[in-house]
Amino acid sequence: MPGNHRPHVRMQDVALRAGVSPQTVSNVVNGRTARVSEETRARVIESITALGYRVNQSARSLRRGRTGTVGLGIPTLDSEYYGALAEALSERFAEHGLRLVIENTGGAVGAEIDSLATSRLDSYDGFVLALAAGDTDHLVQVDTETPVVLLGERALSSQFDHVVMDNVGGARQATGLLLRGGARAIAALGGVDADEETMPALRTRGYLEAHHALGVDVDRALLVASTFGIEGGYGGIRRLLDQGRRFDAVFALTDASAIGALRALADAGIRVPDEVQVIGFDNTRAGRFSVPRLSTVEPGNAARADSVVELLMSRMRHQDGHLERRVVVHPVTLVERESTSSPPGARARD
């Protein structure tokens, strides 16, 4: 309606009302307040609110060479873990006035490289890539001036800052919990017999190290090929049961596959944790509501999101300077719930 029309408010109008210079208003709007008193800052904010001043983001981006957006490349959209990661990063970047845009790489090497190609990075002020294609050697061909932070399994020969998950340590702790609880035949759901730097191989390595540390032999037949979703976990346990394999615990490489394992065991009339203990990895929200509630590994998700944002913001602030490459690893913690409360000496499943 014509009566509701508000004329365009300029920065000069805000400055006039607040009794300051337009430069002071610009400093407040852009967060450069080190030399602005709290009283002056309050007057500027009050004037902005009263007049309804809005920053012209398009013009601002052109002047500053910024787009106001950060990209996030993730292997899949159909994952509670990556959904929670995207949500955490979105909230944290929003606190810095940045919008998060998500790209699906499918976890393929070619797509991960393409997501970091210069033509794509021109659209962003910075980019976060959650690696799923193993190591980072395939990224050496990427040459970009856009700030990039990697989220991955293990930091190898990359030129980018890297926030790493302690897959080996987390799997070692999870398996150790089962062994100390009396388990002696632990199925590694999604485990692989391979010497590589992928998530499955690293978590399998931790599983094997826990056995070695406690002097318990490993039955390689209990490395159960599986995808990492609910259906994969369900199918992997069903195959073990159909084969008549003996096991008294399950270390699932993800929470999603652990929840599938719980369903398969319930369908077979097997009680968890009385007959078979189950533990997952990633501490997703669903595990807090499964029956029984799922024990898991918390990989420091909140701290990892904080580190990603801190690293990328630092790179964005110092694009003209030289910063040493940084690698950040946060400690993992066990989250013990109902699915691993079996007492020592529990009978192995025949």
Residue-wise pLDDT for 203-224, tens only, equals: 999 999 999 999 999 999 999 9
For 249, the token pair is: 């615990």
Cis peptide before 200 (omega within 30 of 0): no
Residue 154 pLDDT? 67
H/E segment holding residue 162: strand 161-164
Q: Over the chain, what is the mean pLDDT?
A: 84
- What's the predicted TM-score (pTM) here? 0.74
- DSSP notation for 88-104: HHHHHHHTTT-EEEEEE
Contacts of 131 (CB under 8 A, 6+ apart): 112, 150, 151, 152, 153
For 32, the token pair is: 């450069």
| pLDDT tens readout for residues 256-292 | 999 999 999 999 999 999 999 999 999 999 999 999 9
* 41 vs 179, residue with greater confidence: 179
Query: In whole angstroms, what is the distance from residue 21 CA to residue 25 CA?
Result: 7
Residue 61's pLDDT band (boundaries 50, 70, 90)? very low
Q: Which of 210, 239, 209, 207 is nearest to 226 (CA)?
A: 239
Q: Is the pLDDT of residue 179 over 80?
A: yes
Alpha helices (H) in the chain, listed in sequence order: 11-18, 22-29, 38-51, 57-64, 80-94, 109-115, 118-121, 167-180, 199-213, 230-243, 255-267, 301-317
Query: In whole angstroms, what is the distance from residue 130 CA to residue 15 CA?
Result: 44
Query: In whole angstroms, what is the distance from residue 120 CA to residue 72 CA?
Result: 12
Query: In whole angstroms, what is the distance from residue 262 CA to residue 264 CA?
Result: 6
* 320 vs 44, residue with greater confidence: 44
Residue 140 pLDDT? 62
